[in-house]
Amino acid sequence: MSDTPQPAPKGQEFEQTLDQSDTKVASFERKHHTLLERIQHVLHNNPTLVPVIVLVISLIAFGLIAGGKFFSAFNLSLILQQVSIIGILAAAQSLIIITAGIDLSVAAIMVLMSVVMGNLAVFAGVPSGIAILIGLAGGVGAGAMNGWFITKVKLPPFITTLGTWSIFYALLLWLSGAQSIRGQDIDTEAPFLKFFGASFNLGGARITLSAILMILVFVVLWYMLNKTAWGRHVYAIGDDKEAADLSGIRTDRTLLSVYGLAGFVCALAGWASIGRVGSISPQSFYEGNLDSITAVVIGGISLFGGRGSIMGALFGALIVGVFRSGLRLSGVDVLWQVFAIGWLIIIAVAIDQWIRRVSA
């Protein structure tokens, strides 16, 4: 504003010269934008571009190093299958991180709810469909419990979910008696629990339903975040919670819904994990919390909230999967896979910081 000349000179005496004032917008002598600056600018406007580029480059690189066996339809579909569970968890984690929170309990909710579903369907004789519904509702409840502590008791998300991580983990050990539910028992008693383990062939690729579920979860959440008022509110809260409050968003209610929804998505991942793993093991996915955060961070979603697209987390999960698969097929020891993922995280956050410093 204010670069149009004022009509009638009014106001204070010292302002009388304002209408003759220079109407040029502040502009500075500047040299041509360097290529790097222009790249920085484009990336600032399209934060999801970084993980997409990294994904494409790593696909090409591993294709060259590991050759045909990496680029086979079978191997690529295997990567999709392997990342599906962590991918769904990363979707839930993204929701939380966009609100400038963090959820350390996602994997614990997931495994706890898979144990609930398994116990009910396999041992208690509850019909599978109902057992699954109870498990999904339990996920909403567990997420809402996190949300309640964060919004009503005003605890920081990190502390809340650090606590509930242990609580949920202890509960799942208690419910399962630290025993796995064997695959055969699930097959005979409640095969529907393994629904997402089913797969079909598509030109040499083996597509599992869990991979399709993952993509579906991302598409639905992307729509909710970008095309609905609720989604705009989620971003506004992550951006500046106080401003969101003042501009009329019921922030506590929205945050509660975010945690509840994230819990639901975790429980959904729990159901899918039964099909993916083939059994229900209380010890599975112990590092799922951190893996989901890894995918979100590599996907370019800011840990400070309010910035980044949820699709970034999908690409982040795929990048991790591609690295693991590519390094394994290149005959690299597992420990170096972990090493590489560690560097990926640090580089991803460094790039994120660099993009944020863009001069508009």
Q: Which of 225, 307, 318, 352 binds other proteins (CB under 8 A)?
A: 307
Q: Are 140 and 263 in contact (CB under 8 A)?
A: yes
Span interacting with other proteins, options 104-112, 142-150, 191-199, 235-243, rule CB under 8 A: 235-243
- Does residue number 28 form part of the binding site for other proteins (CB under 8 A)? no
- Does residue number 185 form part of the binding site for other proteins (CB under 8 A)? no
Q: Are 202 and 81 in contact (CB under 8 A)?
A: no
Q: Which is nearer to other proteins, 3 or 333 (CB)?
A: 3
Q: What is the per-residue DSSP string for 166-218?
A: HHHHHHHHHHHTT-PBPHHHHHHH-GGGGGGG-EEEETTEEEEHHHHHHHHHH
CB of 15: closest distance to other proteins in angstroms? 6
- Does residue number 232 form part of the binding site for other proteins (CB under 8 A)? yes
- Does residue number 156 form part of the binding site for other proteins (CB under 8 A)? no
| Among the listed residues 95, 107, 105, 108, the one whose alpha carbon sits nearest the alpha carbon of residue 161 | 105
- Does residue number 1 form part of the binding site for other proteins (CB under 8 A)? yes
- Does residue number 228 form part of the binding site for other proteins (CB under 8 A)? yes
Residues 247-266 that bind other proteins (CB under 8 A): 247-250
| Among the listed residues 168, 149, 130, 114, the one whose alpha carbon sits nearest the alpha carbon of residue 260 | 149
d(CA 335, CA 351): 25
- Does residue number 41 form part of the binding site for other proteins (CB under 8 A)? no
Q: Are 289 and 108 in contact (CB under 8 A)?
A: yes
CB of 233: closest distance to other proteins in angstroms? 7
Q: Which is nearer to other proteins, 6 or 330 (CB)?
A: 6
d(CA 196, CA 355): 38
Q: Are 187 and 253 in contact (CB under 8 A)?
A: no
Q: Which of 130, 246, 334, 350 binds other proteins (CB under 8 A)?
A: 246
Which position has the token pair 């004032």?
Answer: 21
Number of residues that bind other proteins (CB under 8 A): 35
Q: Which is nearer to other proteins, 179 or 247 (CB)?
A: 247
Q: Are 318 and 84 in contact (CB under 8 A)?
A: no
Q: Which is nearer to other proteins, 111 or 236 (CB)?
A: 236
Q: Which of 174, 223, 336, 339 binds other proteins (CB under 8 A)?
A: 223
Span interacting with other proteins, options 13-21, 88-96, 284-292, 313-321, rule CB under 8 A: 13-21
Binding mask 98-137 for other proteins (x = CB under 8 A): ----------------------------------------
* Token pair for 216: 């579906």
Bridge partners, residue 202, by sequence: 205
- Does residue number 360 form part of the binding site for other proteins (CB under 8 A)? yes
- Does residue number 194 form part of the binding site for other proteins (CB under 8 A)? no
- Does residue number 240 form part of the binding site for other proteins (CB under 8 A)? yes
Q: Which is nearer to other proteins, 2 or 34 (CB)?
A: 2
- Backbone angles phi and psi of 208, in degrees to 5: -90, 155
d(CA 268, CA 314): 16
* Token pair for 119: 């116990």
d(CA 180, CA 111): 11
The site for other proteins (CB under 8 A) is made up of 1-4, 6, 10-12, 14-15, 18, 21, 223, 227-230, 232-233, 235-236, 239-240, 242-250, 306-307, 360
